[in-house]
Amino acid sequence: MLSDIQIFWYNHNMNQPITSKVNEKGHLEIGGCDLADLAAEFGTPLYVLDEVTIRSRCREYKTAFKGRYDNTLIIYACKALCNTAVLKLLSDEGIGFDVSSGGELYIARKANCDLKNIYFHGNNKSKKELEEAVDLGVGRVVVDNFDELKALDAITQKAKKKADILFRINPGIEAHTHEFIQTGQIDSKFGIAKEKAIDAVKLAAKMKYVKFVGLHSHIGSQIFDIKPYIALVELLCDLAGSVLAETGIKCEDINIGGGIGIDYTGQDNVISLDAVASEIVEVFKNKSQKLGAPKLILEPGRSIIGTAGVTLYSIGSIKDIPEIRKYIAVDGGMSDNPRPILYGAVYDALLANKANAPKTEKVTVAGRFCESGDRLIKDIELPKAEIGDILCVFCTGAYNYSMASNYNRVGRPAMVLVNNGISSLILKREAYEDLIANDVVL
Ligand code: LLP
């Protein structure tokens, strides 16, 4: 049985929030809010997040696994977008959290997230961060390497507090995605080589307060292929079997990371979460039979929040270089969305105030920052753009605000959450004063 929210999801344009529609003025609307009105009220650039899409993705993930393998936990990778209101909303949906810094942990606490469902990641956590994790008693510390294991041992002994740990395993599995966001290949800074996993478990078993409870791997991000996940499930279950045989210790958790890709362009071949769950669970159930029904954990970031977000920009200048290229310049760019310049990421957009107008020209969307490479979208078909038009770029919910900078001392944009015709400011626009808040004047 599909809920209304899910039916909505299956019927809509896959790279847009599920509530997006064109209203009687010919304007794009999300969450019942006219985007041109939002731009006028809150200014641009503006991040807009659709609550229904976020909730629907959480439910879609949970429904896909429920019934197939009930002992599944979905945890949200906070690095994709970490804001108090967003984490509160996800917590309300019964989602756990992957944090990878003391900062993300702090925000998760401010959002009242359940500490026992927090997994603390990172390949070089500081002593202070490990101390915080132990002191607060977060659900799991995901230990990346032997140095960290020893540091954690010392910290737990001093505090006389226990820490339940997973080991991050480097599985030697290559996923097909941009090289910067591949993480499971042998030549990676992340994780303990699978051949050394048993040694790590044996070492942890000698520690008084550190308790090994499971295995973790994350093979990369923006992945469209299910095969590397199947290979990973097999590998981690086999490894858990070897751990049990050699040490007698059961893995309570098998965490297969995040990385499921989303449709940025309207033409990317995404896998449905239902198919993901069905294929993964089939192999997992089969391979984990002798492991005592461990908890299966997935930690998606992008595929929960990515499509829910759009960014609105105002077009401020237009430059036509005859026979070569027409640039339309917007009031944001690489500081609010560094993905095009970092990974050559491709985005889709339309003019929010001319959403039904025919696309008559090919343009390149330039940012406002002092680099020629600051182009948000190369060669996109749009209706004839004029100064003051509002450009809406899709799929900016993940890894945009979370990787934003103050380059050229431009303040980061505001963010609003929209639902049912109501827009709520969940992040203020940075003002000039914010830019010097940490300056020490001599
Ligand atoms: N778990 C771990 C341990 C991770 O490192 C990540 C992402 C995730 C889960 C979530 O992956 P997701 O489901 O969001 O793909 N800045 C890049 C993405 C870097 C991802 C880093 N780790 C981008 O903009 O594409």
- Mean per-residue pLDDT, 239-258: 97
216 Cβ below 6 A of ligand 1? no
343 known member of a binding site:
yes
Cβ proximity of 68 and 47 under 8 Å? no
Cα of 181 vs centre of ligand 1, distance in Å, is 7
Measured CA to CA, the distance from residue 81 to residue 412 in angstroms comes to: 14
CB of 104 closer than 8 Å to CB of 78: yes
Could you read off the pLDDT of 180-209 as tens digits, one per residue? 666 777 888 999 999 999 999 999 999 999
> Which pLDDT score is estimated for 408?
98
Judged against a pLDDT cut of 60, whether residue 29 lies above it is answered with: yes
Q: Whose CA is nearest to atom 6 of ligand 1?
A: 258
Choose between 312 and 10: higher pLDDT. 312
301 annotated ligand-binding residue: yes
Atom from ligand 1 closest to the CA of residue 304:
13
pTM of the model: 0.95
- What ligand 1 atom has the least distance to the C-alpha of 301? 14
Cis peptide before 338 (omega within 30 of 0): no
Sorting pLDDT into bands at 50, 70 and 90, what band is 175?
confident
Domains in the chain, ordered, with CATH?
A: 21-50+306-435 (2.40.37.10), 51-302 (3.20.20.10)
Residue 381: strand, helix, or coil: strand
Cα–Cα distances in angstroms (integers) from residue 417 to residues 50, 76, 278, 314, in the given order: 6, 18, 32, 19
- C-alpha dihedral (279, 284, 289, 295), degrees to nearest 10: -130
Residue 394 has pLDDT above 90, yes or no: yes
In tens, the pLDDT along 82-131 reads: 999 999 999 999 999 999 999 999 999 999 999 999 999 999 999 999 99
Residue 189 near residue 122 (C-beta atoms within 8 A) = no
Helices (H) and strands (E) in the chain, counts: 13, 21
Q: Given pLDDT bands bounded at 50, 70 and 90, which one contains residue 252?
A: very high
CA of 190 to the centre of ligand 1 (A): 13
Question: At a CB cut-off of 8 Å and minimum separation 6, what does 107 contact?
Answer: 78, 82, 83, 84, 87
As a whole number, mean pLDDT of residues 436-441 equals: 96
Q: Binding site annotation covers 302?
A: yes
Per-residue pLDDT, 7: 47
The pLDDT, as a whole number, for residue 250 is 96
Question: What pLDDT, on the 0 to 100 scale, is given for residue 155?
Answer: 98
Q: In what helix (H) or strand (E) does residue 402 lie, and over which residues does it extend?
A: none
User: What's the mean pLDDT when you consider all of the chain?
Assistant: 95
Residue 4: pLDDT band (50, 70, 90) is low
| Beta carbon of 194 within 6 Å of any ligand 1 atom | no
116: amino acid identity, one letter: K
By annotation, the residues acting in catalysis are: 370
Residue 2 or residue 354, greater confidence: 354
pLDDT at 120: 98
What is the distance in A from the centroid of ligand 1 to the CA of 422? 30
User: How does residue 12 score in pLDDT terms, banded at 50, 70 and 90?
Assistant: low
CA of 302 to the centre of ligand 1 (A): 7
> How many A from CA of 159 to the centre of ligand 1?
32
| pLDDT (average), residues 285-298 | 96
The pLDDT, as a whole number, for residue 187 is 84
Q: What is the pLDDT of residue 176?
A: 72
- The stretch 302-331 carries a mean pLDDT of 98
Is the pLDDT at 13 greater than 80, yes or no?
no
Residue 223 Cα to ligand 1 midpoint, Å, equals: 10
Distance, CA of 153 to CA of 140 (rounded, Å): 14
Helix (H) or strand (E) holding 308: none
Task: Please choose from 75, 221, 305 the residue to mutate so as to test ligand 1's pocket, defined by most ligand atoms within 8 A of CB.
Answer: 221
Candidate from 188, 302, 402 with most ligand 1 atoms within 8 A of CB, to mutate:
302
pLDDT at residue 1 in the model = 40
Q: What is the mean pLDDT of residues 371-393?
A: 97
408 to 27, 162, 391: CA distances (angstroms) = 32, 46, 22
Backbone angles phi, psi at 33, to 5 degrees: -110, 130
Residue 261 Cα distances to 208, 226, 301, 306, 371, angstroms: 40, 10, 10, 9, 29
Whether 220 is in the pocket of ligand 1, judged by its Cβ within 6 Å, is no
* pLDDT on residue 14: 85
User: Does ligand 1 have an atom closer than 6 angstroms to the CB of 77?
Assistant: yes
Residue 9 has pLDDT above 60, yes or no: no
The finding on whether 338 has its CB within 6 A of some atom of ligand 1 is no
Mean pLDDT computed over 6-31: 83
Q: Which atom of ligand 1 has the smallest separation from the CA of 403?
A: 16
Q: For atom 3 of ligand 1, which residue has the closest CA?
A: 218
Distance in angstroms (rounded) separating the CA atoms of residues 109 and 115: 8
Q: Is 315's pLDDT higher than 90?
A: yes
pLDDT at 2: 44
